[in-house]
């Protein structure tokens, strides 16, 4: 079993920056890919970014490319989502996940955090 815990959400003005952190713990946690999803009110949960187990490969949703950067510190089993040039449409609950895979046209994951709120004011 893998536990996933996020931190770092909050309120920021449009154009600002915010960094989310996520730590995975448990058996084989360091061997899993990790990533972020988000869910805005009234919308389905959507993929944001993914990083491979060794940090060698990253994937981003088109909506965040060039603005968000996902990095990984394997010594701490922690990933960091640096979000810049934030927009009001980035407002959502952000969920960290471990053990992601791509299936049936979208990313999915086996382990989930509890979510952290990000609110971008205009």
For 27-86, how does the pLDDT look when each residue is reduced to its tens digit (9 = 90+)?
Answer: 888 899 999 999 999 999 999 999 999 989 999 999 999 999 999 998 998 999 999 999
pLDDT at 53: 93
How far apart (Å, rounded) are the C-alpha atoms in residues 41 and 117? 11
How far apart (Å, rounded) are the C-alpha atoms in residues 39 and 86? 16
pLDDT at 60: 97
Phi-psi region of 15 (alpha: psi -120 to 50; beta: other; left: phi over 0): left
How far apart (Å, rounded) are the C-alpha atoms in residues 80 and 64? 15
pLDDT at 116 over 90: yes
Average pLDDT over the chain, rounded to an integer: 95
The answer to whether 98 and 111 have CB atoms below 8 angstroms apart is: yes
């Amino acid at each position: 079993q893998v536990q996933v815990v996020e931190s770092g959400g909050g309120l920021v003005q449009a154009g600002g920056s915010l960094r989310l952190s996520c730590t995975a713990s448990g058996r084989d946690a360091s061997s899993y890919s990790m990533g972020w999803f988000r869910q805005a009110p009234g919308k389905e949960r959507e993929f944001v970014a993914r990083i491979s187990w060794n940090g060698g490969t990253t994937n981003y949703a088109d909506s965040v490319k060039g603005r968000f950067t996902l990095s990984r510190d394997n010594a701490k089993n922690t990933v960091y989502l640096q979000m810049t040039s934030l927009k009001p449409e980035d407002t959502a609950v952000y969920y960290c996940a471990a053990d992601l895979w791509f299936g049936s046209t979208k990313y999915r994951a086996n382990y989930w955090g509890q979510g952290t709120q990000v609110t971008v004011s205009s």
